[in-house]
Amino acid sequence: MGKKTILAISGSLRSPSFTEKMLDLCIEGMGENIEIRKFYPHKMNIGPCISCWACWSKKTPGECVQKDDFQEILDVYQRADYFLWAFPLYYFSFPATVKNVIDRFFITLKPSQYLSARGTTEHPKRFDSHPKAVLISSCGFPEIENFDIVRQHFKKICDESDWHWAGEILISAAGVSNVPKLFDDKYDLIKKAGMDLVDGVISKEISDAIAAPVMDAKDYREICTAHFSGGIMGIAKTLSIGIKAVINKK
Ligand SMILES: Cc1cc2nc3c(=O)[nH]c(=O)nc-3n(C[C@H](O)[C@H](O)[C@H](O)COP(=O)(O)O)c2cc1C
């Protein structure tokens, strides 16, 4: 069997990025028989869609007037088996640089409108084959519900684009990801999610286990507050709550 192509968007503007770590673990779990093409939108020259409709015109169908780095992503997209979107949650949604890339995928749609089998109005797609798409994200608040809006949004984009939604890998309370051992079981589970993906979709059981809280939400709020308040007291509180969380985890 030929190698599967993975198109990955690594959307954190931070380095090192926790979300990119999640992405890399998922890719690791997908095994050896893969070709990985990872893109960092914020490091690329990608202009925003200017809504000129040239890609929908009869004269230049499917052609963008902006000759920039988005073409590299689009070239890989056309042969991609998997499309992994990894980004930190910003204001309950995509970072602007990631949303910018999504908007440029407008070129993959054709202008007419029809009633889809889903019962919603959609555009026909320009390409015939479509990758499996996965949402990978982390956030700084403790509740997993902070992802509700972006989960729904991502699914809607998958529907409109004919990407085959294949699951999600979501972690809240990422502010304590540097506390030793707290996330270790999640790292193994993310690799398992990658294995799942090769066989089909990431199972709900694995997604739920990855999303399970690592510590009490009240303690989490306190440790984050103490961390940013700094000073001796802040450090002492950070350490004591961190140690408590690790002990409770055992
Ligand atoms: C501009 C900005 C907006 C953010 N918005 C949210 C948010 O709406 N909800 C949330 O829980 N965390 C929010 N966060 C926290 C990040 O999602 C969190 O720190 C994430 O784990 C960072 O991942 P990274 O290391 O991959 O960049 C925000 C962070 C920044 C810088």
pLDDT of residue 188: 97
| CA 51 to ligand 1 center in whole angstroms | 29
Considering the domain architecture, whether residues 81 and 96 belong to the same structural domain is answered as yes
| CA 139 to ligand 1 center in whole angstroms | 5
Considering the domain architecture, whether residues 74 and 185 belong to the same structural domain is answered as yes
Our answer on whether the CB atom of 92 is closer than 6 Å to any ligand 1 atom is: yes
| CA 136 to ligand 1 center in whole angstroms | 13
Our answer on whether the CB atom of 141 is closer than 6 Å to any ligand 1 atom is: yes
Considering the domain architecture, whether residues 148 and 231 belong to the same structural domain is answered as no
How far apart, in whole angstroms, are the C-alpha atoms of residue 127 and residue 106? 12
Considering the domain architecture, whether residues 89 and 42 belong to the same structural domain is answered as yes
How far apart, in whole angstroms, are the C-alpha atoms of residue 166 and residue 84? 10
pLDDT at residue 1 is higher than 80: no
Contacts of 220 (CB under 8 A, 6+ apart): 142, 173, 175, 176
pLDDT at residue 71 is higher than 80: yes
As for how many domains the chain has, the answer is 2
Our answer on whether the CB atom of 14 is closer than 6 Å to any ligand 1 atom is: yes
Range of the domain at 248: 216-250
pLDDT in tens, 164-209: 999 999 999 999 999 999 999 999 999 999 999 999 999 999 999 9
pLDDT of residue 60: 95
- Residue closest via CA to ligand 1's atom 22 equals 88
169 three-state secondary structure: strand
pLDDT in tens, 92-111: 999 999 999 999 999 999 99
Considering the domain architecture, whether residues 105 and 227 belong to the same structural domain is answered as no
Considering the domain architecture, whether residues 119 and 189 belong to the same structural domain is answered as yes
Domain of 113, CATH number, reads 3.40.50.360
Q: For residue 92, give the ligand 1 atom closest to its CA.
A: 8
Considering the domain architecture, whether residues 164 and 40 belong to the same structural domain is answered as yes
How far apart, in whole angstroms, are the C-alpha atoms of residue 89 and residue 236? 29
